[in-house]
Amino acid sequence: MRRRGFFQNRVRCRMLLAFVTVLPLLLSGCCAEEPEVYRVGILSGLSFAVDAVDGFKAGIEELGYVEGQNIFYDVQSTEFDMAAYRGIVDGFVADEVDLIFVFPTEASQEAKAATQGTDIPVVFSVANIEGTGLVDSVREPGGNMTGVRYPGPDIALKRFEIMCQLAPEATRMVVPYQRGYPIVDSQLEILHPTAEAAGVTLIEAPVDDAAELEDFLQAQAEGDDIGVDAILIIPEPLGVTPDPFLVMARFATEHQIPIGGAIMEVEGYGAVFDVGIDHFKTGEQAAPLADKILQGTPAGTIPLVSSESYLIINTKVAQDLGVTVPEILLAQAVKVIR
């Protein structure tokens, strides 16, 4: 009888131990939290940089998010339209999205303004920080903002230097840009003294649209001397918007002068070179910043990252315009279009 009682006690102990072991698992299963699901509003404000959207999504996916399961996107696109920017961002705020990914500069400024007083963080890309008021500093952006800096002044200077190598006899360069655009002044501040030291006169062409730009260029060409030796496209939206670009490229072809700064092709017209960024990679750079925010880090405490610039040469356009590309530039280019 004692032996039987001994075995009964052992069974009871084992059953109690198993119950104690399983109980926390049962309780955790009953009380488990639902997995987080995030909603991200994306504003693509410039078609020239639209690859940043795909880069951002690819970077987010690499970090373990699955679109349609734990992250959802509301992607809105427009083409350099301030009123549209405001309407789109206001819609994101009304929908109480968890994060806004936005580009370029002026769209990022609108996102900052619209999210003031909310807890909606903003990650910007393809955006200048010089003279735009987007952030307090690179290391501590402040507020609800962080993102990927577009090195506009640095790129503007590189574009000028490349143009001087392509057209060493050029002493008059037209610089078209969108009138009042927020990132232009910081570029001109660095370009003018550099050009003056090189013996080059920069002819600023601030305009509102393609028609006004065409009038400006035609006025330059009224005399026997067109008064222009080259067209330099600086980092801003006018030069990478199809209609204004076409006006510039046609003028360059008609008068056989070099045009460069941004690679585009519109109706068979193009530019000789581009010093710019890889927009897809820029979107990828933004993804880890967004991930940190979604995991609880305040956006304003996350240091900015910066895009790297690349040189692309179009030798076909150069040949059409009678421009000889030095071998040293061809060696520096990450891509040569022939």
pLDDT band at 141 (very low <50, low <70, confident <90, very high): very high
Same fold, 38-149+279-306 and 153-277+311-337: yes
The pLDDT assigned to 4 comes to: 45
pLDDT in tens, 170-214: 999 999 999 998 899 999 999 999 999 999 999 999 999 999 999
Measured CA to CA in angstroms, residue 86 lies from 109, 124, 142, 197, 335 at distances of 10, 15, 22, 42, 37
HEC sequence for the chain: CHHHHHHHHHHHHHHHHHHHHHHHHHHHHHHCCCCCCEEEEEEECCHHHCHHHHHHHHHHHHCCCCECCCEEEEEEECCCCHHHHHHHHHHHHHHCCCEEEEECHHHHHHHHHHHCCCCCCEEEEEECCCCCCCCCCCCCCCCCEEEEECCHHHHHHHHHHHHHHHCCCCCEEEEEEECCCCCHHHHHHHHHHHHHHCCCEEEEEEECCHHHHHHHHHHHCCCCCCCCCEEECCCCCHHHCHHHHHHHHHHHHHHCCCEEECCCEECCEECCEEEEECHHHHHHHHHHHHHHHHCCCCHHHCCCEECCEEEEEEHHHHHHCCCCCCHHHHHHCCEEEC
pLDDT digit string, tens, across residues 303-316: 999 999 999 999 99
Place of tokens 């960024």: 277
Q: How confident is the model at residue 6 (pLDDT cuts 50, 70, 90)?
A: very low
Query: Is the pLDDT confidence value at 13 over 90?
Result: no
Task: Using the predicted structure, report yes or no on whether residue 2 has a pLDDT greater than 70.
Answer: no
Distance CA 184, CA 188 (A): 6
Quickly name the fold that domain 153-277+311-337 has.
Rossmann fold (3.40.50)
pTM above the 0.85 mark? no
> What architecture is the 38-149+279-306 domain classified under in CATH?
3-Layer(aba) Sandwich (3.40)
Closest by alpha carbon to 286, among 70, 84, 99?
99
Instruction: Flag whether pLDDT at 7 surpasses 50.
Output: no
Quick: pLDDT tens for 118-132: 999 999 999 999 989
Give the closest residue to 107 by CA, choosing from 130, 66, 79: 79
pLDDT at 243: 96
Which amino acid, residue 287? A
pLDDT at 129: 95
The predicted pLDDT at position 16 comes to 47
Residue pLDDT, tens place only, 248-278: 999 999 999 999 999 999 999 999 999 999 9
pLDDT digits (tens, 9 = 90+) for 69-94: 999 999 999 998 989 999 999 999 99
Mean pLDDT, the chain, as a whole number?
92
Q: What is the pLDDT of residue 222?
A: 85
pLDDT over 60 at 20, yes or no: no
> Would you list the domain boundaries of the chain?
38-149+279-306, 153-277+311-337
Q: What is the pLDDT of residue 28?
A: 52
